[in-house]
Structure 1
């Protein structure tokens, strides 16, 4: 049977939306596996807009759904219309949009909250026993939605290769079990049907991130 997968986007661009290489990798691997894919994004304003040449915020305003349409080639639906019953699994690529537009993790970290539509999505899939795939920073959503879950954002000791390793410490403080994994590996929380991989939480080459996401997609489809 063809697996139906919802992919949740958070804008377009690593610093204020979805990480484009990660989204593309998810879509390529799902396509290769023969999955039926539908993309969604919340119809809300971005937290802010970042000039990606300078890495600095601008005064511009942009809409998350409209920006996500750039990645989806226009074929994206409002997250409010997502019916978990119509899908076998959901996957959320990373990028700072997860921490800025799908939640406020970027400014509040451990005390952050998830955007209500996103939280509803996560809990609907979880309640139905359907798997969730999360990469890069997006596992923080699972940490907030499912206390005590098992996830990975890579390694927990900061170094040149792992510049965002402090995130793992925050997840541990929240009561989650963080499992150290390299960029080409995933962690599968069987109980909660969560599949996580570090992606660009690691300073890795693009093909390494692509391969790790491929393994995440494979494990998600196995659980679906």
Structure 2
């Protein structure tokens, strides 16, 4: 890389040493042809932005999408220059949780798409309209809504459910005194035929074969900024896999 950089610098220096001739001394341009501007030789087309689908499952950790995870993902996607479109299924929630008590609110019913629109600030589409051909990647934030309103368990387990032998992480495999309260999820992943990879909360695991990236996030009881860092590592790897 250093050699290539040095070569490029020397070429630019040589080019700048030849000042353009005065217009009265320049040869006339061929008839019917427009002189090619020298600046165009050094221009390049802008890189296309990665098109990412963000799939939500409601609004709230116990019955929908974990809001901090979704927000962190959106921040890192914005910083990475991605084009984001948000989706959620237009279906009733499995149930509604009173988050002040951590208990079901028996008298309430809510719609997953309507609730997810709170996080999306209204810019959201029905999950049924999502087409893989229109996106380079899809990201599923965690939260119990991924289990209750999308498929069978929390977000990394979605991949384990549909991709046989996929490698994912939900963090550590032992509770370690309560630091990893959902460590048992790793066994559920293995039972589905997937491989669980132990990772720290600020890390992301990349399955290059299946192009799946996962991070523990709130599977760990830790400070919010560590969760944010792990989400950032995941988003960075996702954007790298898109090649954009």
Q: TM-score range by the shorter chain?
A: 0.7 to 0.9
Q: Which has more radius of gyration?
A: 2
Aligned to 1:5: 52
Question: In the alignment, is residue 151 of structure 1 matched against residue 199 of structure 2?
Answer: no
Note the 1:155-170 alignment, pairs <5 A: 155-159=172-176, 160-170=178-188
CA-based RMSD of the aligned residues comes to 0.8
Tell me how far apart the structure 1 counterparts of residues 96 and 152 of structure 2 sit (CA, whole Å). 15
Q: Unaligned stretches of 5+ in structure 2?
A: 1-47
Deviation at 1:174, TM superposition (A): 2.1
What is the match of residue 150 of structure 2? 102
Whole-angstrom CA distance in 1 between matches of 2:220 and 2:90: 30
Deviations 1:122-147 (A, max 9, x none): xxxxxxxxxxxxxxx30100011011
Deviating 4+ runs (over 3 angstroms) = none
1:39 pairs with 67, 72, 86, which one? 86
What is residue 74 of structure 2 aligned with on the other side?
Answer: 27
The superposition leaves residues 24-46 of structure 1 with CA deviations (integer Å, 9 ceiling, x where unpaired) of: 00000000111110000000000
Q: Name the residue aligned to 1:201.
A: 219
Partner SS, residue 14 of structure 1: coil
CA distance in 2 between partners of 1:173 and 1:7 (Å): 27
Deviation per CA, 1:58-97, whole angstroms, max 9, x where unpaired?
Answer: 1210000000000000000001111111111110000000
Counterpart among 47, 50, 57 of residue 104 in structure 2: 57
- Distance in 2 (CA, whole Å) between partners of 1:92 and 1:149 is 16
The aligned length equals: 193
- TM-score normalised over the length of structure 2: 0.78
Q: Secondary structure at the match of 1:90?
A: strand
Structure 1, unaligned stretches of length 5 or more? 106-136
Determine helix, strand or coil for the equivalent of 2:77: helix
1:116-175: CA deviations, max 9, x gaps? xxxxxxxxxxxxxxxxxxxxx301000110111111000111221100000001211222
Partners of 2:152 and 2:158 within 8 A in 1: no
TM-score, scaled relative to structure 1: 0.85
